[in-house]
Amino acid sequence: MAQTYADVNAMFGDIVKVTPSSKVVGDMALMMVASGLTRAQVEDPATEIAFPESVVQLFRGDIGQPHGGFPVALRREVEKKIGRAVTDYQLASFLMYPKVFLDYARDRAVFGDVGRLPTSVFFYGMEPGQEVTIDLERGKTLIVTLVATSETHEDGTRTVFFELNG
């Protein structure tokens, strides 16, 4: 148990152990021992792990941030995997749900920030003549109208025509 506690402490960046951070390290160590998990397995994104709630709270920032931030080597590893810098929030997301975060980052790189689209447009697309507004940032709204779509091309794609802000 003591070795697992030391491993968790190292994984979490040798955080200062005061309540609640000592509880977080202890909860994770207990979960690892009970589940028979090693540090290597926890650090392997292919391993499915149900993290204790206290660990989720720590990495979500609910109970503060580790002094000096999250371990630099881990941040660099994630940044290398997705090809861009990550915030503390994104690093925490990776730590808790590595596969989900990497899938999200890959899709975001391909499709951009689709979170600004209205839900119905994201799931079902637009019909010709339909107009939607997309808030790009405070005070900056884009009005998008689907004008027309072509027939399906041989490669399975279509040409889509939009009108932006009239």
Complete domains list, the chain, with CATH: 2-111 (1.10.472.90), 114-164 (3.10.600.10)
The predicted-structure confidence for 72-116, as pLDDT tens digits, reads as follows: 788 899 999 999 999 988 988 888 888 899 999 999 999 888 888
Of 14, 55, 11, give the one whose Cα is nearest residue 31: 55
The predicted-structure confidence for 123-133, as pLDDT tens digits, reads as follows: 999 999 999 99
Residue 69 has pLDDT above 80, yes or no: no
Task: Grade residue 151 by pLDDT with cuts at 50, 70 and 90.
Answer: very high
Among the residue ranges 43-52, 59-68, 93-102, the one predicted with the least confidence is 59-68
Question: In whole angstroms, how far apart are CA 116 and each of 12, 20, 65, 99, 112?
Answer: 33, 36, 28, 23, 10
What is the pLDDT of the chain when averaged over all its residues?
A: 89
Quickly list H helices, 44-147.
Answer: 53-60, 72-82, 88-96, 98-111, 119-124
Task: Please report the pLDDT score of residue 67 as a whole number.
Answer: 67
